[in-house]
Structure 1
């Protein structure tokens, strides 16, 4: 079955469709209408962090690992089992989110995915990528805290680990793809190789994430977030984003990474200022960084691994514009007296962008490689 010949085929369309359908359900609940979910707010938090993102990560990991290691891809049966486990978790958390069986089911996906990834990486001696497995383990620990101990600390830890994970993945693929594209066009000024600026940005971001988890929005977190935001902005500026703007699927990666800078800036403002922007920081990192970065990585992987040219259509450009605009409106909603209009407009646009991505991805997922 073609759908089981690569992890990107089932996971990417399903992840995008799930995100696109979940947000309207949450907006309906937020407007006061009755929904089948008992605690819609906690469901929204959990499912966007530990429902959508793990599907995108699984599709990315098990598509990339054969390239990293030279080992075979997951067998169709193993891939099917992993996908069914993710899907069962979504159904369980929708039907009975407070039930222990639902929570155990949804909490089993990340450790299974991490174990499968670790097996392949260790077997190939590809130790440099063990850090990705470690990040997934940390993300799972945050989920455990959210489900069974403290929801606020769990959400903070989830966003903190996601911040580091996006820094790792975005910091690997964005300059590399941009460098290759510019080389092919004879450019002499290229994004620099991983160096001191990148190490500083990564270390400061990790420090910010740890302080955020341990001390919440303290002064220490704020100081670290300011330094990390400046380091991330400097790092991004060296990747020659303006030089690749003619290729939307490359420029979109730079735009997605910029949300990390914005999220860190908002976290700093929350920690050091007298105004509460923690919700805005969450959405800058969630709808902004996670949403747009996973979307561009998924679309590039779908096109590349299916043998299609990695080139944007006009619809793709519109798709990413809608995602960014939706995230921006949701973040800006915190600065107006009545945020309802921006709140719902942002969520609707973001959901439309994700559904458009699902519609773009599904025909590719079920078609043979060109």
Structure 2
């Protein structure tokens, strides 16, 4: 009983290990399906797309939100009972979508998780009068809508909307925590140069990213989308350059945040290139956003939150550093694979590295999730 209470005492405890383990198991299944070794279910392509966007990511988001919201609002964390129900709903969705991805009951269960998450988050924000973060709950609702479009209307439009919304969300949250944590670390060490405060460059980058996402959804792969994505690439790169990333290179858990944010600029660059030039595919842009930005940013946020909220030093072990490096290298191999004459070895190597890194993260997270705060 005591272990159960501990496990449900914070949202990061059930969601972070489960999210990482799920990602680490889902990718090898997809690789095996792609290689025609096994067929995990009736629609492996749909399952792969859906489960990485609306299976893995929502678990990481829920863990982050319900861990961060008590800090934002000064309200108590989500109680064990609703947390257990929410986690069970997520798990039921994964089981349903694996066993019968085309069945309506499975889809309904899977589609219920994000609205439930958004409602619970909005309840806490409204109770605390925390209007600044209403936008986060709004994006979660929109992400739920994109899932419904994917499942019941147009899969391509839904997936594009999912990527666009996630790009906006990561630009917002990553742009808040990355310079803040770096500033605190550098200030504590008496550094003369600190990350630039929020200003015009940040506003332009956020607007450019939002415009890229909107154009991608509404206009598709039009030249207009390509031009806006190009502007967003430069804006994101300029924004990142003002955060003193090289100055924190000796602290892997900080430097990894800068590297993860860099994947956003890589993703918009590949999106622009896939539209405005030859030789670059949309799949490369999608995997730069997915395996690159989403994978690495959620991993570093989960790891930092696990350490900090469990009372452990927020400092990387050699195991953590290797895990993060494998994750980035796996994403990079998948993105460049489409430039190879035979991309298959890159698919396998990239997917294996990325999945192994996620399983390593789950192994790191689970003992923390079931032990009391230090």
Residue of structure 2 in register with 1:251 after alignment: 255
Task: Select the residue among 281, 296, 300 that pairs with 1:292.
Answer: 296
Q: Give the conservation status (yes or no) of the 8 Å contact 2:149–2:155.
A: yes
1:205 pairs with 2:220: no
Instruction: Trace 1:203-242 onto structure 2 (pairs within 5 A).
Output: 203-242=207-246
Q: SS state of the match for residue 315, structure 2?
A: coil
Residue of structure 2 in register with 1:176 after alignment: 180
1:356 pairs with 2:360: yes
Alignment RMSD, CA only?
A: 0.6
TM-score normalized by structure 2? 0.98
The runs of at least 4 aligned residues of structure 1 exceeding 4 Å deviation read: none
Separation of aligned partners in 2, 1:369 and 1:296: 20
Residue of structure 1 in register with 2:129 after alignment: 125
1:195 pairs with 2:205: no
Q: Cα offset for 1:217?
A: 1.0
Instruction: Trace 1:1-370 onto structure 2 (pairs within 5 A).
Output: 1-370=5-374
Separation of aligned partners in 1, 2:174 and 2:344: 32
Separation of aligned partners in 2, 1:138 and 1:291: 20
- Deviations 1:219-251 (Å, cap 9, x if unpaired)? 000000000000000000000000000000000
Q: Cα offset for 1:36?
A: 3.3
Separation of aligned partners in 2, 1:348 and 1:219: 35
Q: SS state of the match for residue 37, structure 2?
A: coil
- Which ranges of structure 2 fall in alignment gaps of 5 or more residues? none
Q: SS state of the match for residue 40, structure 2?
A: coil
- Deviations 1:134-178 (Å, cap 9, x if unpaired)? 111111111011000111111111111111111011101000000
- Which ranges of structure 1 fall in alignment gaps of 5 or more residues? none
Alignment length (residue pairs): 370
